[in-house]
């Protein structure tokens, strides 16, 4: 298919793949009294990394993570319920009982309330913005362990609105607080990576509409064109549009840096084994500034 998001009523076989990229089951970053997640403090009871990063959380140093990625690149498996994966969620219409058609993830912002996804997930150049959408981070088999967060506002580039420009198939959305807390206060957030180059070791995690469990795959991104990234990972079918491409995982904070989302060329790819992303450069930075301004 040419679009990695599915329309209402579509269903297929559930994906049941073995776990990969399972870095640690530790909980999300702790929050300060102001609600801002701490950036260097592991969850209570979690071993503290030694100086120099030689004995990181549960033994997962950055070098060990890189080695694991290099050993089994391009292998897609079920994503474990880790703190990093809890930042990723399914996008539904109306509620968690509605139709799941895309993926999004929490990204750092001053308002502590921002998610990033593909523009084609939330705005149709012919029909306009989609309404009544919710973000369900950590969704698993009907369970919503991290809440249901309605989208309040969406920011897309004018070139997307006017012509569906694949080079800016990126959107930021503000989600409503729940129980007096913002989504980043509850879960933490990945950083936004701008101009990080085309070739990077990344982990891509998303929600196929054909199942109730997220999948994940690690590989090295490539340059499809100066304005597009590509990655070779199998089984990224409809529903995975908006899946974050995360690099620079930090075992101390259990977060990373988002350098892409499935979308862009062919709205993410017309084969489930190759996915694309608009390159995160100055245009995405400008879009982020608009969303957070």
pTM: 0.78
Looking at residue 178, the DSSP 8-state letter turns out to be: B
pLDDT bracket for residue 43 (50, 70, 90): very low
Q: Could you tell me the two tokens for 266?
A: 């062919």
Collect all residues with Cβ–Cβ distance below 8 Å to 263 and sequence separation of at least 6. Answer: 4, 118, 119, 120, 121, 166, 169, 170, 241, 242, 276, 277, 278
**Chain segment 230-244, per-residue pLDDT in tens:** 999 999 999 999 999
Q: Assign 190 to helix, strand or coil.
A: strand
265 backbone dihedrals φ, ψ, rounded to 5°: -55, 130
The mean pLDDT value for 286-292 works out to 98
pLDDT bracket for residue 63 (50, 70, 90): low
Beta strand pairing call for 244-250 and 201-206: antiparallel
């Amino acid at each position: 298919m040419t679009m990695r998001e599915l329309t209402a009523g579509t269903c297929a076989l559930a994906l049941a793949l073995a776990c990969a990229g399972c870095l640690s089951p530790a909980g999300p970053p702790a929050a300060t009294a102001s609600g801002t997640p701490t950036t260097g403090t592991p969850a209570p009871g979690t071993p503290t990394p030694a100086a120099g990063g030689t004995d990181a959380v549960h033994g997962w140093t950055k070098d060990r993570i890189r080695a694991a990625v290099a050993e089994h690149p391009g292998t897609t498996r079920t994503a474990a319920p880790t703190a990093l994966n809890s930042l990723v969620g399914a996008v539904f219409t109306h509620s968690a009982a509605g139709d799941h058609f895309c993926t999004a993830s929490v990204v750092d912002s001053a308002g502590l309330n921002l998610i990033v996804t593909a523009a084609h997930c939330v705005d149709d150049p012919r029909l306009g913005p989609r309404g009544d959408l919710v973000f369900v981070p950590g969704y698993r088999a009907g369970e919503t362990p991290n809440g249901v967060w309605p989208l309040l506002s969406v920011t897309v580039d004018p070139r997307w609105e006017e012509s569906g420009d694949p080079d800016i198939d990126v959107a930021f959305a503000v989600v409503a607080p729940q129980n007096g807390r913002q989504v980043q206060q509850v879960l933490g957030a990945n950083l936004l990576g701008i101009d990080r180059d085309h070739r990077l070791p990344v982990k891509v995690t998303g929600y196929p509409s054909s199942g109730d469990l997220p999948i994940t795959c690690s590989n090295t991104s490539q340059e499809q064109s100066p304005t597009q990234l590509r990655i070779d990972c199998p089984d990224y079918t409809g529903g995975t549009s908006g899946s974050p491409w995360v690099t620079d995982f930090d075992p101390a904070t259990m977060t990373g840096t988002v350098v892409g989302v499935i979308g862009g060329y062919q709205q993410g790819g017309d084969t489930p084994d190759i996915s694309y992303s608009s390159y995160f450069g100055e245009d995405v930075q400008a879009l982020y500034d608009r969303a957070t301004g």
